[in-house]
A = this chain, B = another copy of it.
Amino acid sequence: MREHVFDQAVALELQAHGSFSGHTSPAYANMVGPFGGISAAQMMNAVLLHPQRLGEPVSLTVNFAAALDPGPFSIVARPARTNRSTQHWTIELFQQGETVMIGTAFTALRRETWSVDEEAMPECPAPEQVPLGQGPIPMEWIKRYEMRPIAGAMPKVWDGSGDTSLTRLWMRDNPPRPLDFVSLTALSDVFFPRVFVRRATLVPIGTVTMTVYFHADSAQLQACGEGYLLGQAQAQAFRNGYFDQTSQLWSQAGVLLVTTHQVVYYKE
Residues of A near any B CB (own CB < 8 A): 58-59, 61, 63, 65-66, 80-81, 83, 86, 88-90, 92, 98-100, 102-104, 106, 108, 110-119, 164-165, 198-199, 208-209, 211, 213, 215-217, 234-242, 244, 246, 248, 256, 259, 261, 263, 265-268
Q: Is the CB of A237 within 8 A of B208?
A: no
A-B CB proximity, top 5 nearest: A65-B81, A119-B236, A65-B88, A61-B61, A215-B237
Q: Is the CB of A58 within 8 A of B208?
A: yes
Given contact pairs A61-B211, A63-B106, A236-B256, enumerate 14 new A-B contacts (beta carbons under 8 Å). Answer: A63-B104, A65-B81, A65-B88, A80-B99, A88-B99, A90-B92, A106-B209, A108-B208, A110-B240, A115-B238, A117-B238, A118-B234, A215-B239, A215-B242
User: With A65-B81, A90-B90, A90-B102 given, is the CB distance from A236 to B209 under 8 Å?
Assistant: no
* A216–chain B nearest beta-carbon distance, Å: 7
What number of copies of this chain does the assembly contain?
2
Residues of B within 8 A of A198 (CB): 116, 118
Q: Is the CB of A211 within 8 A of B211?
A: yes
* A163 to B112 alpha-carbon distance, docked (Å): 21
Q: Is the CB of B263 within 8 A of A59?
A: yes
User: With A63-B88, A66-B83, A238-B115 given, is the CB distance from A246 to B244 under 8 Å?
Assistant: no
Q: Is the CB of B246 within 8 A of A58?
A: no
Q: Is the CB of A102 within 8 A of B102?
A: no
Q: Is the CB of A118 within 8 A of B208?
A: no
Q: Is the CB of B119 within 8 A of A102?
A: no
- Specify which of A65, A99, A119, A256 lies most central, judged by the most chain B CB atoms within 10 Å of its CB: A65
* A110 to B267 alpha-carbon distance, docked (Å): 10
Q: Is the CB of A110 within 8 A of B242?
A: yes
CB closest residue in chain B, given A85 = B241
* A216 to B236 alpha-carbon distance, docked (Å): 13
Please list 23 pairs of residues, one from A and one from B, whose beta carbons are closer than 8 Å in the complex, sorted by A's number: A58-B209, A58-B242, A58-B263, A61-B211, A65-B80, A65-B88, A86-B265, A88-B99, A90-B102, A102-B104, A106-B263, A108-B242, A110-B242, A113-B241, A114-B199, A114-B268, A118-B164, A118-B235, A118-B236, A118-B237, A118-B238, A237-B256, A246-B246
User: With A240-B113, A242-B110 given, is the CB distance from A209 to B61 under 8 Å?
Assistant: yes
Residues of B within 8 A of A86 (CB): 208, 265
* A260–chain B nearest beta-carbon distance, Å: 9
CB closest residue in chain B, given A66 = B81
